[in-house]
A = this chain, B = another copy of it.
């Protein structure tokens, strides 16, 4: 009992920055140490760790003090084994944009800060024949606490079904609500696309084109839909000849733009489904001697790093990726903390970031 205070002084700062030097012989303390020091059973210590309401306030205080003093942190592995569920969150992704993946990780990590959770990453390929098998292994092997699914794998119903069968909670990030409110972070891509449409219309453009992502992507559909609606608000229509499908890649954007430029009259503004394709549009315009924004206005989507690496700087629709990651992880935690709470839909609205790539049409 006398060995438990080292400094003897008042409460040491936070969790004791650097206890003993490299004396790694000082093993981490366990629930047993705490129990002994507090003169209670380990079960009671377990109760305070797990925030059980059935602990006398006085007991709780005493135990928490000792926990603080020793810098005790329950072993997630042992806890996991007993709980039959780990303290690990998985992030499953197939988004090709590296910045998206890294920002999302950051956001999830933000939500886990100061918890004992860890973030396990898992890329995937929906086209692979072992896709579902791999995902099942990933989830079952680690007895994941929960999983966050980013687009476009978040749209895969087979995966969602599998997770449900495996009793693994998941939060899906997508442009519209695909499942229960408790499991969704919806990004309303259509709203951002509509804003882009209004902006272009406002500038006076009449011949406005769109290059969408592949039809298999929900986001591609939503962005087109929102754009079309935004145009309609201003009495404009997205003409079929001005409506091309790309692949969300640089090359497909350039190819679609070339087709568009061959039209007469050619469009004076293009809304690309993502920044990659917008970069392709820049390239095609450059090759044809079309100046941006004088001869052609361009708007992208994603506000990825490339948007500020092009000249003129690309105006683009931005989604708060990192924040989305944080929200998704928080949903997972809420569901656990307060008995299935956090059930409201989580929503996010994209915003148009204005830069230098748009101007009134030259003839205006």
Contacts and interface: CB of A to CB of B under 8 A. Distances in A.
A80 B165 CA distance: 26
Contact of A99 (B98, B116, B119): B98
A88 B186 CA distance: 32
Interface in A247-290: 250, 279, 283, 286
Contacts of A206: none
A311 interface: yes
Interface stretch (A71-79, A208-216, A353-361): A71-79
A305 B98 contact: yes
A169 B120 CA distance: 19
Interface stretch (A49-57, A135-143, A191-199, A332-340): A135-143
Oligomeric state, in number of copies? 2
Nearest to A76: B141
Interface stretch (A101-109, A226-234, A292-300): A101-109
Q: Which residue among A15, A18, A102 has the maximum number of chain B CB atoms within 10 Å of its CB?
A: A102
Size class of the A contact interface (CB-based, 8 Å): 35 or more
Contact of A24 (B142, B166, B310): B166
Contacts of A306: 305-306, 309
A309 B24 contact: no
A305 B100 CA distance: 14
Given A28-B140, A77-B80, A116-B141, A283 B305 contact: no
A123 interface: yes
A22 interface: yes
A12 to B, nearest CB: 13
A5 interface: no
A277 to B, nearest CB: 12
A156 interface: no
Given A22-B165, A77-B80, A109-B123, 8 more contacts: A24-B167, A73-B137, A77-B142, A77-B143, A98-B102, A98-B103, A119-B120, A121-B121
**Top 3 A-B residue pairs of the complex, sorted by shortest distance between their CB atoms:** A98-B98, A98-B99, A22-B165
Interface of A: 15, 17-18, 22, 24, 28, 73, 75-78, 80-81, 86, 88, 98-99, 101-103, 105-106, 109, 116, 118-123, 132-133, 137, 140-143, 161, 165-167, 250, 279, 283, 286, 305-306, 308-311
5 contacts: A75-B143, A78-B81, A109-B121, A119-B121, A120-B120
